[in-house]
Structure 1
Amino acid sequence: MAHVQGSRAAKSIAIQVAGWVLVVAGIAALVLPGPGLLALFAGMALLATQYDWAERRLEPVKKAALRTAAESVQSTPRIVLSVLLAFALVAAGVVWGLHPASPGWWPLADRWWLPGGWGTGVTLIGSGLAAGAMIVYSWINYRDATD
């Protein structure tokens, strides 16, 4: 019996940690590269399984995320730009991870050229892949609403 309660408690803690990480990442991605509303919605959906306040606030976030997803594939230029930006994020992540030497025009000390190495690079690559997945999801679910 104690094992079952411990297992439930561990699951609850894991859900809460994942939910809060996604909420914080989603809020950050609202101003940084990445699918902010999608991450925010995913985090709120996880937290809604644990908290009534999150469940009450889930619907507006869901509507905003779905509206943004639909708008992202409303025109060919938006789709092309979104795909290019997703590729650019992945490419920037690879370059950041490889950490090439700083260029001659770089005005600061070399240590300030692409700080973070692969930690930052993997984050950018993940954001680009998540954005790409969101583009595909939006295309599959909302392409009929375009044009």
Structure 2
Amino acid sequence: MKRVTKTILGSVLLLVGVAMLVLPGPGLLLVLAGLLILASEFPALERYVGPVRDRAMKAAEDSVRTPFRIAWSVLAGLALIGAGVVWGTVDGLPLAGWSTGSSLILSGVVLFALLIWSYRRVHAHR
């Protein structure tokens, strides 16, 4: 049961991360999280963890390198949450409803959580 749960969770994180590579959100960090979980059950995936970790950490550092980038990330998170509320409450929009709205809100919350994590990680090393 534990292996099945890890496989499902890792796969979902990996797939959502891949989607967020082209959508707004911290795609590389979610891909990394999914790979780490899957690699604990499937050792053959270990070889992909290192390169993805390097790229994800570089992207995390770049996202909080300047106040301008932090501001844009915060605005993107607020825009995602605002869009989620609009999609959840306004009828007539494409794919209107709380299923779409809640996923947008969740994306904004995840973006804020990872932005805070990135900021703390980068500034703890300075």
Structure 1-normalised TM-score?
0.81
Give the residue type in structure 2 aligned to 1:118: W
Matches within 5 A, 1:1-147: 10-100=1-91, 110=92, 113-143=93-123
Return the structure number with greater helix share.
Answer: 2
Paired amino acid for 2:62: E
Show CA shifts across 1:36-89 (max 9, x none).
011100100000111122111111111111110000011111010010101110
User: Structure 1 residue 116: deviation in Å?
Assistant: 4.1
Structure with more relative contact order (C-alpha pairs < 8 Å, separation 6 or more): 1
- 4+ residue stretches of structure 1 with deviation over 4 A? none
Q: In 2, Cα distance between the equivalents of 1:114 and 1:43?
A: 30
Q: Is the 8 A contact 2:90 2:96 kept in 1?
A: no
- CA RMSD in angstroms comes to 1.5
TM-score, L = length of structure 2: 0.93
Alignment partner, residue 104 of structure 1 = none
1:6 aligned partner = none
SS in 1 for 2:41: coil
- Aligned residue pairs, count: 126
Using the aligned pairs only, state the percent identity. Answer: 40
Q: Can you give the 5+ residue segments of structure 2 that lack an aligned partner in the other structure?
A: none
On the 8 A contact 1:73/1:143 being kept in 2, the answer is no
